[in-house]
Structure 1
């Protein structure tokens, strides 16, 4: 059971990476360096439903499972700031999954449908930045992992900076993929910490 969070985090990263690479290669004219990830799941495009399920919904659900286990590992007696951080991390995971449930409308990027997808994207990273920062602060106060704390600080900075980077400095499609990568790697570290915390708790009984 203690290995389930690690397996979930690995599966989320693999699913997302394979889905983006595979469906991107299958879609004629799609360029990873130019087009947003969400376009692969846009309404009316070939295999959009499959991409949304494999690229957004399942990875987001797996990350939500890790967040739930993370909150449990912190415990009700853990630092309040870390507990709130864990709930915000769960919100970020659910917002990531929502990007697949609210696909883009390729014919009208200003439509309500496309705006809903953009809102899910924004909520995803806006929830994650304070989540990682609060977890870093809370776990440091509570004697948390020497790995998760710096990883959370770095992830929060990377995601915040890249998500708000001016368009002329770096292609949006590139920064989007870098933000996704940082987010997925953080879940791997968080899942490892959850497993470590479970071992420590079992040893103290």
Structure 2
């Protein structure tokens, strides 16, 4: 059986137009995950007596002993985190041609998304903030932040110069 290879022109077209299609789908999924997380924060925050978005950490809504904590952790952390990890995985593949900065940035966003999801698995224990679960939640938060910021900067750097990816690069820079 003869293996066919793409002509160079088709491969070049795929690396620009195909990237835009993947970026558009990734943008839609990332937006849906973000909206799910924000809706969970607002809805569960409004339902918890005395909770203030300005004074309390989001992790408190999913803490042990808090009503509907499991639902919050699924809707705010675990679900959006896994969706964003899948988006980052797809971006990693789509950005191969954009260079090492893009690949490393996508990998960092993948790890950041997995750390975000891990916050929903390791719930805070408001009665004992030194408990293992609380420490793991704090560690997941730290890993999320440490991976997200440099990933966003690397992705912005790698994509702002490419016309098909410019909007994505601006979103990464704004994030």
Q: TM-score, normalization: structure 1?
A: 0.69
The separation in 1 between residues aligned to 2:52 and 2:119, in whole angstroms, is 20
* Correspondence for 1:15: 36
Pick one of 128, 142, 148 that aligns with 2:148: 128
Length, aligned pairs only: 154
Q: Do residues 88 (structure 1) and 108 (structure 2) align?
A: yes
Q: Do residues 67 (structure 1) and 54 (structure 2) align?
A: no
Bigger relative contact order, structure 1 or 2 (CA pairs below 8 A, ≥6 apart): 1
The separation in 2 between residues aligned to 1:9 and 1:78, in whole angstroms, is 20
Pick one of 24, 29, 37 that aligns with 2:45: 24
Q: Do residues 152 (structure 1) and 172 (structure 2) align?
A: yes
Q: TM-score, normalization: structure 2?
A: 0.79
Shift of 1:143: 6.2
Shift of 1:59: 0.7
The separation in 2 between residues aligned to 1:129 and 1:6, in whole angstroms, is 18
Q: Do residues 55 (structure 1) and 76 (structure 2) align?
A: yes
Coordinate RMSD, CA, aligned: 2.0
What are the equivalent positions in structure 2 for 1:169-188 lying under 5 Å apart?
none
> Please, which runs of 5 or more residues in structure 1 have no aligned partner?
156-205
Shift of 1:136: 2.1
Shift of 1:141: 6.1
The separation in 2 between residues aligned to 1:84 and 1:132, in whole angstroms, is 10
* Correspondence for 1:38: 59
> Please, which runs of 5 or more residues in structure 2 have no aligned partner?
1-20
Contact (CA 8 Å) 2:113, 2:144: kept in 1 or not? Answer: yes
1:43-62 CA-to-partner distances (Å, cap 9, x unmatched) read 11111111100110001111
The separation in 1 between residues aligned to 2:53 and 2:77, in whole angstroms, is 17
Taking a change above 3 Å as real, the CA distance of residues 146 and 4 of structure 1, as seen in their structure-2 partners, is: closer
Show structure 1 runs of 4+ deviating over 3 A: 1-4, 140-144
